[in-house]
Amino acid sequence: MTGYEIDVYRDTEDEDEDVDLEEFSDEIDEWIIEELKSIGCDTAKSVLAITVDDLVKRTDLEEETIREVVRILRSEFE
């Protein structure tokens, strides 16, 4: 119609960015976020970089809770 062609590109830099755990406060209870922060995990990728077993050992969280947190965090990067 206008004679213009529009090219659409996906910004791949956004995929590499990390997300602060506070951004998940609507899905993850604040006390869980604070527990993860107490072991030095203050971003989504810092949590995902640690195995579930190690997170269980390093925190006072139950395995089921950690698996749910990991599921929520992974969904951010899919």
Q: Say how many domains are in the chain.
A: 1
Predicted local distance difference test score (pLDDT) of residue 29:
97
Answer yes or no: is 30 within a domain: yes
| CA gap 50, 72 in Å, rounded | 15
Predicted local distance difference test score (pLDDT) of residue 4:
73
Is the pLDDT at 14 greater than 60? The verdict is: no
Here the CATH number for the domain that contains residue 47 is 1.10.150
| CA gap 60, 72 in Å, rounded | 19
Answer yes or no: is 64 within a domain: yes
Answer yes or no: is 6 within a domain: no
Answer yes or no: is 13 within a domain: no
Q: Which domain holds residue 45?
A: 18-76
Tokens representing residue 18 in the block: 């990390």
Q: pLDDT tens across 33-72, in order?
A: 999 999 999 999 999 999 999 999 999 999 999 999 999 9
Predicted local distance difference test score (pLDDT) of residue 51:
97
Answer yes or no: is 10 within a domain: no
Answer yes or no: is 28 within a domain: yes
Is the pLDDT at 7 greater than 50? The verdict is: yes
